[in-house]
Structure 1
Amino acid sequence: MAGEPLGYEHNDGGINNQKLALLGLFATANKFDSGSERRVYLPNIYNKDQHDKKSSFEDFAEIFWLDIFLEFAKRWNIEIVDRPTVFSGDRIKRNGWNYFGIGACHLGDLVEHNRDGINYDIASDLFRSLIPRVKSSRIFQMICDKVFYVNEINTAVQLRIEEDWHIHSNQHLKVVISHEEDYLLSAEQIIKKVASTLPDSGNKIYVSCDERYILMPKWTIRENVKKETDFDIVFKSDLINVGDFDAIRQVDASLIDFEVAKIADRFVGMTRSTFSNLVCFERHVCQYKKTRGDYVYNKVGPLLGRRTDLGTKDDPRVAAV
């Protein structure tokens, strides 16, 4: 008799934590030899509101193109089955956090021990097949047109300046990181590093952040950056009307920033962020090129560090040069 299928109800982290948990699930199933054991059910996707007032659970097929993902599973001889109606009461099991750890370790081991075979790995195929539906939307097309054609922007920068990052940095990172590291910088401090390292950025940069949760108005941030660096920063909400921006689900807003960062010639992020790390990895495996346009700002000093780890290390001292 076949055992229970593998899976979890949902992961209650941000969308990139959810993507890593999904990788862990499929990497686990792929280790079984028996076809009857290679069965999984897909999680719901968590549309996370940091204040937890508008959080919601979305069907997988509402966020990602299901037919493309089913073809991926078929290629790897992994069967997608119906979701159960009852889940474990344990948060770690119910929310797939064990699978998150497996997914993160899988990427690290892949880059460390099988870098030459990276394009043929299940992780690379999974991320190529996990295509957000919002990527086909008029709003995404409009943002990309204005970023890359109208404004001719070549650099995207993640600004990790939201309320939850300040809390995480002060309550967790400050405790566990014993060495000096620039993981909690203001927007102007981050862009100053960009200006010093990449002076040919054209004085205009696309910035990604969860705009609904930043601690000061974006126009104040923009003025501070302009004053300190003479660079203009562009948020996605600058490129579409207010009604369209307000209507975007938070998970889709994050996916838009992620996909724009993948397209940009250069991306600047940080090693402590799953957003930055997966952008770096997917830029490599989804574009089939050995990009050297990935940088981190949390390496100590006035300049950015250039990533060499394909987004698999959390310590900037070993992830970048």
Structure 2
Amino acid sequence: MKNVFGVEKITGGLNNQKMSILGLIVEAKKYDGIVNIPDIIHDWTPTVEGRGTNFIKTNEVYAMDELEEIIQITNEIAGTILSFSDCFASGSKKIKEEGGLPPEELMCNETARILSALKPVANIQCEINRLVGEMPKGTAGVQLRVERDWKNHLNSRRSRGIKLDSGRELILNPRRIFEKIRNNDKDGEITTLFLCCDEDDLMHKKSEISDMAGKFGLSVIFKSEISTAFLDSRLKRSLVDFGICLKLDTYIGLSLSTFSNLLCLTKSFEIKGKPNHFIYDAPGDVTVARNDFGRFHSPAEIVR
């Protein structure tokens, strides 16, 4: 009988959850095991006051059909239970270790397949398809990581002596992000930006952000302006963001972001090629193309 591997909990944001599921599968496969994925997962919501956590059924979020083609998933009680941190670390390590593989392997190996298999359930995918279908030509996805929780995260790491600005430009001003996007798009092929962000945690008013983008001839779309679906779940709304950006031809994000990195990795698997993805936190006045298929978080390694 095969050993069943489980994780004590699945928590954090969308892509932290994906990373932990990847790590769980990596550990199980080392020992020819099978996995038990919890029926209930955390639906984490950042607020101005702190962290609020709800719970949600896993099958209301993730479709497991494709994942079950990769590894056996069981409801049996796990004989080996790993921590969320250990699973996350295992998944992250696996991605980084594979960074030196040839592009043709990075685009179609099992790690990329597992992450691509973590698709949203049908009703969430339907909303993604509807929204993308209504977006104007020339729309690019942008991770607007200028929220309070990101600023607090950076301050916390700095206070512990962790240097994050070596070889990268840490940006908290939306105007600077829009400037770099436009500088790299002199022909004006990008006309509209779909902004992925926690709208209720932004440090600027949405009207101010829209005005900043307008200075560079860019229109913006906030999800709250085009969809009222899944207001009860931050996790589901994150899946919508991820799904929209996965379908858009162009995406600009942050090198330190699990969202941006796993998006690039998943997109490369789905198109079997290098995605038209860029980062805005590399040094210089333009966004820079990714050449790493989502495997690294250092600008120098991403663009080499």
Indicate if the aligned counterparts of 1:161 and 1:214 stay in contact, CA closer than 8 A.
yes
Counterparts in 2 of 1:202 and 1:117: CA distance versus 1, 3 Å: closer
Match of 2:149 among 155, 164, 172: 164
Partner in structure 2 of residue 71 of structure 1: 69
For residue 14 of structure 1, report the CA deviation from its aligned partner.
0.9
Q: CA RMSD, aligned part only?
A: 2.5
Distance 1:230 1:117 in 2: 39
Distance 1:301 1:82 in 2: 53
Task: Give me the TM-score of the superposition, normalised by structure 2.
Answer: 0.88
Amino acid corresponding to residue 127 of structure 2 in structure 1: I
Match of 1:175 among 162, 165, 170: 162
Partner in structure 2 of residue 206 of structure 1: 194
Amino acid corresponding to residue 171 of structure 1 in structure 2: S
Indicate if the aligned counterparts of 2:124 and 2:240 stay in contact, CA closer than 8 A.
no
Q: Point out the more displaced range, 107-116 or 192-201.
A: 107-116
Amino acid corresponding to residue 121 of structure 1 in structure 2: N
Q: Point out the more displaced range, 50-59 or 187-196.
A: 50-59
Distance 1:188 1:236 in 2: 19
Partner in structure 2 of residue 185 of structure 1: 172
Distance 1:13 1:266 in 2: 26
Partner in structure 2 of residue 12 of structure 1: 11
Counterparts in 2 of 1:97 and 1:82: CA distance versus 1, 3 Å: same
For residue 248 of structure 1, report the CA deviation from its aligned partner.
4.7
Match of 2:267 among 283, 293, 301: 283
Residue 176 of structure 1 aligns to a residue whose secondary structure is coil
Match of 1:127 among 105, 109, 115: 115
- Between 1 and 2, higher relative CO (CA 8 Å, sep ≥ 6) is seen in 2
Distance 1:171 1:187 in 2: 21
Distance 1:6 1:64 in 2: 19
Indicate if the aligned counterparts of 2:127 and 2:240 stay in contact, CA closer than 8 A.
no
For residue 302 of structure 1, report the CA deviation from its aligned partner.
0.5
Amino acid corresponding to residue 102 of structure 1 in structure 2: S
For residue 69 of structure 1, report the CA deviation from its aligned partner.
2.8
Going by fraction, where is helix more abundant, 1 or 2? 1
Counterparts in 2 of 1:114 and 1:87: CA distance versus 1, 3 Å: same
Partner in structure 2 of residue 49 of structure 1: 45
Indicate if the aligned counterparts of 2:274 and 2:291 stay in contact, CA closer than 8 A.
no
Residue 61 of structure 1 aligns to a residue whose secondary structure is helix
For residue 276 of structure 1, report the CA deviation from its aligned partner.
0.5
- Structure 2: segments with no counterpart, 5+ residues: none
Q: Point out the more displaced range, 122-131 or 304-313.
A: 122-131
Residue 30 of structure 1 aligns to a residue whose secondary structure is helix
Distance 1:129 1:12 in 2: 19
Distance 1:305 1:183 in 2: 15
For residue 259 of structure 1, report the CA deviation from its aligned partner.
1.1
For residue 79 of structure 1, report the CA deviation from its aligned partner.
4.4
- Structure 1: segments with no counterpart, 5+ residues: none
Residue 56 of structure 1 aligns to a residue whose secondary structure is strand
Match of 1:107 among 95, 101, 110: 95
1:237-316 counterparts in 2 under 5 A? 237-240=224-227, 244-245=228-229, 247-291=231-275, 293-316=276-299
Q: Encode CA deviations 1:32-75: one digit per residue, 9 max, x unaligned.
A: 24xxxx122103332111135652122221111133332332xx
Residue 7 of structure 1 aligns to a residue whose secondary structure is strand
Partner in structure 1 of residue 74 of structure 2: 80
Residue 204 of structure 2 aligns to a residue whose secondary structure is coil
Residue 314 of structure 1 aligns to a residue whose secondary structure is coil
For residue 120 of structure 1, report the CA deviation from its aligned partner.
4.6
Counterparts in 2 of 1:110 and 1:237: CA distance versus 1, 3 Å: same
Counterparts in 2 of 1:87 and 1:14: CA distance versus 1, 3 Å: farther
Q: Does 1:152 align with 2:163?
A: no
Distance 1:46 1:127 in 2: 19
Percent identity between matched residues is 22
Match of 2:211 among 215, 223, 231: 223
Distance 1:246 1:25 in 2: 28
Q: Point out the more displaced range, 198-207 or 160-169.
A: 198-207
Amino acid corresponding to residue 140 of structure 2 in structure 1: T
Residue 130 of structure 2 aligns to a residue whose secondary structure is helix
